[in-house]
Structure 1
Amino acid sequence: MTEGNFVDYVKIHAESGNGGKGSVHLHREKYITKGGPDGGDGGRGGHIILRGNENLWTLINFRFKKHFKAGHGAHGSKQRSSGADGEDIYLEVPLGTVVKDAETEETLFEITENGEEKMLVEGGMGGRGNWHFKTSTNQTPRYAQPGIQGRETDAILELKVLADVGLVGFPNAGKSTLLSVITSAKPKIADYEFTTLKPNLGIVEYRDFQSFVMADIPGIIEGAAEGKGLGHYFLRHIERNATLLFLIPADSKDIGKEYRILLDELRRYNPELIDKQRLVAISKSDMLDAELMAEMRTELNKDLKDVPFMFISSVAQLGITDLKDRLWAMLND
């Protein structure tokens, strides 16, 4: 999946179908001149329904088609025949899709399971035919209910990536390089900030044919929680991750300070993110010799306190197997 094909935010317009009219009909056949009312009910209008699909990773299907209209219910007819229901429209969305009202931005529901179906707009009810209104004092009612009009709504579809491990770090920390080494993903890599503008997903193959999903989230900068830089555009994707892997380069001026800034941005965006499991990986560690690594380890034990950390290098393949082991243990803790 290329970066341009990743769409995680769209607005759509959905309109359900009208209910069909009830029929006004009086039964007539040879030798029966006054058979009474037998008008059937109108069919209901079609619904607009969202359905989760585990094979989808993006909302790109809604990039060019954003208006959806369900079918109208058919009118009732004689002999109490009900009209056909309007055709329902099913919209397939990736797991992790949050649906909001476009006007109020209130969250309506979320799709998190494969095959899960949620009603976005309900079709109008069909009107009842005149046979429902027969009474002892009015045995030939000549009226029936009209169908109820369908409804329309504007909705926001917002994707929060479902991944086991989320990569968190400042721009140019080496997240895309790590993802390309540890998974089969092919993210865009270059030596400048904000190379990654959309989340990249990769499958990490582990022992005994087991695997887990890792997401490379675009880099955080100070003020991201208030929308600075790419802001909320990418922070929402971290909410779905079970474990957060903080990636900080070994040549950083102050590793502890960078970690605290990253953690504070997550806390300000959503305090619940602080409760997730965390692991700090010091990237680009191939530039460190054993003596310098030992000194840094002593300092980090004080600076990071109880947060586990390890030294890795994506280019030199240093500590990559140990990183997989540690993440797998955390995910299955």
Structure 2
Amino acid sequence: MFYDQAKIYVKGGDGGAGAVAFRREKYVPEGGPSGGDGGRGGDVVFMADEGLRTLVDFRYKRHYKADRGEHGQGKNMHGKGGEDFVVRIPTGTLVKDQDTGEVLADLTEHGQKVVVAKGGRGGRGNARFMSNTNKAPTLAENGEPGEERYLTLELKLLADVGLVGFPNVGKSTMISRVSAAKPKIADYHFTTLVPNLGVVELEDGDSFVMADIPGLIEGAHTGAGLGHEFLRHTERTRLILHVLDIAGSENRDPLEDYRIIQEELQQYSPELAKRPMIIVANKMDIPGAEENLKRLKESLGDELEIFPVSAATGEGLKDVIYRIAQLLPDIPAPEIFVREDEQHKFTHAEEKERFELTREDGVFVISGKEIEKHVKMTLFESEEGVYRFQNILKAMGVDDALRAAGIKEGDKVQIAGVEFNWED
């Protein structure tokens, strides 16, 4: 089955905790601190693989977590870093943050990599906190939590040529004739429900990739039918082949079909509508085709090249293939593609305040990425760790904000799920 969209969860590995330890050796009665640092958590890395064709693997596994770092140990032994989790995805996959819509990566080349969830740094051991005023610190840090996020993956086929047109105009027959692709072919609408790729090889050894895009219908740009599902796969093609049923074999007017499909491309993206295009007038073996071909040429003039063919008999296909081979070397690959109505989704969320203070059921709740990270990295079993955390709260202005909000002795404060009692 062909899957071209997926939603998954990724999480970088947590950092390992730093150790609290002291030298305990013979003839060293007062050994100094020797707690090592925790190891860094592993990253979740996406790597493009041209051997993959769909996102079907992400249908069955949706959670991806990298290894956490090992904890530090005595004798200044640092923890081992966590292994990166490398996830292979098809080339042509667009990776977006599900919450913000931010495009994180557009993987279009084999072997291309991107880190989508960073691992947390390891916590520092007590050896790091020794100073002139504190020769024997009992303070250490827990590891930093790994980055986590929900992602949306969108596969957009990488093909040189894309066949577009109404259902049942002969696109599948055409690609089966010129390549080794074997799409389902039948005399009814929407025979093709998924895109098909075929490699077209020429006698001189040159080749190009052709994609049979399932039939479009009027209103496809708004998602009618499976509009967005199909139009997505035209975005990376360098050349568009617009296939028309020039015989009007289903009581359709090929000129009206041409106008409608062009309008759908324009509405989906003006940039897409500007791509180089060739008109393939198919079904020339059916009566009435010659008259409609003449009307089409009169209507378009020299605007576009028109090739009369019969995909059923193979007549005229060779001319189309060699013309494509002539044009492709001069057509550059399209840049990263963004539809106009998606432009606003390219956002980088920035926190204006270091924390946010709210009150829920009489409890003062403090939230914010920075303050929550400090909670998770604080070793509350250590008196020095608690004292250091209190100083962090003061430095960030949390104490002042709580007093301004009217906090009183004995009131509860909650940060990252941990509750504290307020003592002034």
Aligned to 1:39: 35
- Give secondary structure in 2 for the equivalent of 1:207: coil
Structure 2 letter corresponding to 1:314: A
Matches within 5 A, 1:194-273: 194-252=190-248, 253-273=252-272
Q: 2:304 aligns with which of 279, 302, 307?
A: 307
CA distance in 2, matches of 1:10, 1:234: 16
Alignment of 1:173-192 (within 5 A): 173-192=169-188
Q: CA deviation at 1:216?
A: 0.5
1: CA distance, partners of 2:207 / 2:23: 67
Secondary structure at the counterpart of residue 287 of structure 1:
coil
CA contact (8 A) 1:277 1:330 kept: no
User: Within 2, Cα distance between the matches of 1:24 and 1:113?
Assistant: 47
1:50-98 C-alpha deviation (Å, 9 max, x unpaired): 1000111111121211122221111011222111112221110011101
| Secondary structure of 2:34's aligned partner | coil
SS at match of 1:148: coil
Of the structure 1 ranges 301-310 and 189-198, higher mean CA displacement relative to structure 2 is found in: 301-310
Which string of whole-angstrom CA distances, capped at 9 and with x for unpartnered residues, describes residues 249-291 of structure 1?
A: 12124322211211110110111112211000011112259xx
How many pairs does the alignment contain?
A: 326
Structure 2: distance between partners of 1:273 and 1:151 = 36
Match of residue 327 from structure 1: 324
8 Å CA contact 2:247, 2:292 repeated in 1 = no
Counterpart of 1:185, as a letter, is A
1:283 aligns with 2:282: yes
Match of 2:85 in 1: 89
Q: Are residues 1:169 and 2:165 paired?
A: yes
Task: Say whether the 8 Å CA contact 1:256–1:304 is kept in structure 2.
Answer: no
**What is the match of residue 368 of structure 2?**
none
Q: Secondary structure at the match of 2:77?
A: coil
SS at match of 1:332: helix
Paired residue for 1:139, among 131, 135, 138?
A: 135
Match for 2:282: what amino acid?
S
TM-score calculated relative to the size of structure 1: 0.94
Q: Which amino acid aligns with 1:160?
A: K
Contact in 1 for aligned 2:34/2:74 (Cα 8 Å): yes
Instruction: Determine whether 1:21 maps to 2:17.
Output: yes
**Correspondent of 1:114 among 110, 113, 123:** 110
Distance in 1 between residues matched to 2:19 and 2:102, nearest whole Å: 40
Alpha-carbon separation, structure 2, partners of 1:302 and 1:189: 32
Letter in 2 for 1:315: A
Other-structure match for 1:61 = 57
Q: Check whether the contact 2:95–2:153 (CA below 8 A) recurs between aligned residues.
A: yes
State the partner residue of 2:345: none
1:149-172 superposed Cα distances (whole Å, 9 cap, x missing partner):
123222111100000000000011
How far off is 1:15 after superposition? 2.1
Structure with max Cα Rg: 2
Distance 2:224 2:292 in 1: 32
Letter in 2 for 1:67: H
**1:268–1:166 CA distance, 2 compared to 1 (3 A):** same
Task: Give, as a single letter, the amino acid of the residue that structure 1 aligns with 2:265.
Answer: L
Note the C-alpha offset of 1:104. Answer: 3.7
By how many angstroms is 1:296 displaced?
4.6
- Bigger drift between 216-225 and 79-88 goes to 79-88
- Counterpart Cα distance in 1 of 2:292 and 2:172: 24
Match of 1:6 in 2: 2
SS of alignment partner, residue 214 of structure 1: strand
- Structure 1 letter corresponding to 2:22: L
Report the AA paired with residue 320 of structure 1: L
Segment drifting more, 276-285 vs 253-262 = 253-262
Distance 1:126 1:250 in 2: 67
Scaled by the length of structure 2, what TM-score is found?
A: 0.74
Contact 2:17–2:122, Cα closer than 8 Å, also in 1: yes
Which amino acid letter does the alignment assign opposite residue 226 of structure 2?
A: L
Is this contact kept in 1: 2:281–2:293, CA < 8 A? no
Gaps of 5+ in 1: none
AA paired with 1:87? E
Q: CA-to-partner distance for each residue in 1:290-332, whole Å, 9 max, x for gaps?
A: xx63x55543333123111111111211011111111111111
**Structure 2 equivalent of residue 152 of structure 1:** 148
Q: Is the 8 A contact 1:41 1:75 kept in 2?
A: yes
